[in-house]
Chain A
Amino acid sequence: MKILIIEDEQQLAESMATYLSGENYICEIASTLQEARIRTELHSYDCILLDIGLPDGNGLTILHDLKADKKEDCVLIISAKDSLDDRVAGLQLGADDYLVKPFHLSELSARISAIIRRKNFNGNNKISFHEIELDTFLKTVSIGKNILELTKKEYELLLYFLINKGRVISKDAIATHLWGDEMDMTNNFDFIYTHIKNLRKKLADAGCGDYIKSVYGMGYRFTNS
């Protein structure tokens, strides 16, 4: 899977590339509008991460050009502007999603994964990890032949873990992913623990191994090691 990161902040672009490379994405970086234009004209990407505020112009023009050329690259806008107008303008131009800076890389990864899954609608909707099989179309989880009865939050939590498997995910990232940014919980993540506990129990009851590892009060890692 090829991803183009259009971002003028070099440090941020590199971080994103580092994290996403671990997920088997091949990342290219463009830091100006001109560079980005050359790349998008020459190649096609599974997903383009687009920063709006670029030094030589508004990133939305790239989006405009892509749509005018009837290219099918998915576009995820990443912007420091979180005003509703920008969001609406971006989505109206045909962007697939909108992420406000600063964000967690695990969240970025989940969004990209969701966009690509939506696009490859006819492709594989199944994400599997050892005995766990998750169907993103039917929204079901099965362990072998057992179908798990998960709540909406537990399903989302498991999906988040599977997409970021092997990675440490901070509690803050989990809270933001499940409840959105607006719930101001100010580092009170006790209630996340309840969900983790329930999910763990349901997985164990279905005969699944315990893959959710706690990382020293920092967060969790979904891994078999």
Chain B
Amino acid sequence: MKLFTKYRQVNLIATSTILLVSALCYYMIVRQILIAQLDDDLTTEMQEVIDFVKTNDTLPLPVNNNAEQLFFTRVQQNIAGIHISTVPIFSLKENENEVFRQIEFPLSIKGKDYLATVREPQAETEDLIRYIVLVTISMLVVLLGILFFINRYLLKKLWDPFYKTLDELKTFSLSGKTKLNLQSNQVTEFAQLNEAVKSMASQVQQEYISLKMFTENASHEMQTPLAVIRSKMDNLVQDENLKADQLNQLNDIYQALGKLQHLMQSLLLLTRIENGQYVDNEIIPLDELIKEKCNQFHELFQSKNISLELNVQQKNIPFNKQLIDILLNNLLSNAARHTPEEGKIDVYLNELEFSICNSGENALNDKEIFNRFYKENNSPGMGLGLAIVKQICVFEHLHVSYNFHKRMHCFKISFMNSDSAQI
């Protein structure tokens, strides 16, 4: 829910409630005042009647018109005091009940008791109230509307810096070289927000860069001691007096050394791809390159009696030469390593996609297979080959996927630029 929507909702509910309550109060108060006014009139009328009786010692003439009714009733036992009340009276003229305000008071003339009643219609008062309330409500509605629009535009303008900051943050990339471009703001809160975001972003960027530098430097610096170890080993094994047992141990060291070196190179490669150090794309005749690579791997396949089915159509693709080499090497090495003896490998290329499938027993975990250092049981590899493949595809905006179908592991690279390839 947007901030404005939320604010408008609260605003609407609050103002409507206040409006309704105040309209009700207003109605009650105005009504009370007008009825009091009516009662005053009735009392004045009563006083006039009493005065008339005192002066003339006779009843005045009854009155019956639209504005006022005055009549007298002969009673045996007179009531005590004055009664003011509201009564509905059926009117033949209007054919409905009309509301009147009446005052009843006792009169005594020549020993005879009378009940005098003065009535004034309350309808006029009610009408007046209605008009007043109507005008009031419409005024309030207009006021509310104006407030609503002011809020809407004012708020939008007020929050504008916030949305600008938000947009800027959306395009922010850790690995990017660009800094956040946040405009200074006169509103303290937004100025503080921008300051905080800026300092956080630059700190995060700095840490990210130094982390990357560290990975690169560490892998790089380790190459030299590795080179020393390897050269010493190369000299050491030349000793003709070495026993079988010692040679076996030296061989284990060699193997571990090979793994370590490979690991370093892979990490370095990953860092370099992430750093965007492979930028020069050229048009690669992919079909020819694939054939060439398959040729290179031919012996490796043959040693395990793997049959290779090559089905490639002509396809040129803009790609970095080194990266496409690494990509194909990794996919083919992967296939060669995991295909069982007498298995088969299918390599397929058309205008839209490139896929490489190899026979296997069980499906692999397609969620994790591209993760760094993820290894299926008994895999002799390091778990970086496919991570590198993924990283290269992400870098070149391609989508790589894995599936297991008809006892074949398939890695597919689709040439349609895909946003889902972004991590």
Q: Is the CB of B224 within 8 A of A16?
A: no
Q: Does A25 contact B (CB under 8 A)?
A: no
In the complex, chain B residues 215-270 whose Cβ is within 8 Å of any chain A Cβ? 220, 223-224, 226-232, 234-235, 237-238, 244, 247-248, 250-251, 254-255, 258-259, 261-262, 265
Contact of B226 among A101, A153, A215 (CB under 8 A): A101
**1/0 contact string of A30-62 vs chain B (CB within 8 Å):** 000000000000000000000000000000000
Most buried by A among B223, B326, B330: B223
Q: Is the CB of B380 within 8 A of A187?
A: yes
Q: Is the CB of B254 within 8 A of A172?
A: yes
CA distance A217 to B226 in the complex (A): 22
In the complex, chain A residues 169-225 whose Cβ is within 8 Å of any chain B Cβ? 170, 172-173, 179, 182-188, 190-191, 194-195, 215-219
Contact of B247 among A16, A103, A216 (CB under 8 A): A216
Q: Does B90 contact A (CB under 8 A)?
A: no
Selected interface stretch from A76-84, A110-118, A121-129, A140-148 = A76-84
CA distance A151 to B261 in the complex (A): 30
Q: Is the CB of B272 within 8 A of A83?
A: yes
Asked if A15 meets B228 with Cβ closer than 8 Å, knowing A172-B254, A187-B255, A188-B337, the reply is yes
Contact of A191 among B229, B303, B329 (CB under 8 A): B303
- Total A-B Cβ pairs within 8 A: 121
CA distance A190 to B337 in the complex (A): 12
Q: Is the CB of A179 within 8 A of B296?
A: yes
Q: Is the CB of B230 within 8 A of A185?
A: no
**1/0 contact string of A3-16 vs chain B (CB within 8 Å):** 00000010110011
Please, which residues of chain B bring their CB within 8 A of the CB of A186? Answer: 259, 262, 333, 337, 380-382
Please, which residues of chain B bring their CB within 8 A of the CB of A26? Answer: none
CA distance A188 to B381 in the complex (A): 10
Instruction: State the interface size on chain A (CB cutoff 8 A).
Output: 42
Contact of A102 among B235, B237, B261, B382 (CB under 8 A): B261
**1/0 contact string of A120-163 vs chain B (CB within 8 Å):** 00000000000000000000000000000000010000000000
Please, which residues of chain A bring their CB within 8 A of the CB of B232? Answer: 11, 15
Asked if A216 meets B235 with Cβ closer than 8 Å, knowing A101-B226, A190-B303, the reply is no
**1/0 contact string of A94-110 vs chain B (CB within 8 Å):** 00000001111110000
CA distance A188 to B255 in the complex (A): 10
Q: Does B68 contact A (CB under 8 A)?
A: no
Q: Does B302 contact A (CB under 8 A)?
A: yes
CA distance A183 to B303 in the complex (A): 15
Contact of B223 among A80, A83, A190 (CB under 8 A): A80
Q: Is the CB of A168 within 8 A of B238?
A: yes
Contact of A106 among B234, B250, B336 (CB under 8 A): B234
Which residues from chain A sit less than 8 Å from chain B, CB to CB? 9, 11-12, 15-16, 18-19, 22, 80-84, 101-106, 153, 167-168, 170, 172-173, 179, 182-188, 190-191, 194-195, 215-219
Q: List 30 A-B contacts (CB under 8 A).
A: A19-B231, A19-B235, A80-B224, A81-B220, A83-B272, A102-B261, A103-B230, A153-B299, A167-B238, A168-B238, A170-B234, A170-B237, A170-B251, A172-B255, A173-B234, A183-B297, A184-B333, A185-B300, A185-B337, A186-B333, A186-B380, A186-B381, A187-B255, A187-B380, A191-B302, A215-B237, A216-B247, A216-B251, A217-B248, A218-B250
| Given pairs A11-B228, A15-B235, A185-B333, 15 additional interface contacts (CB within 8 A) | A15-B228, A16-B231, A19-B238, A80-B223, A82-B265, A101-B223, A102-B226, A105-B231, A105-B235, A184-B337, A186-B380, A187-B259, A195-B299, A217-B248, A218-B248
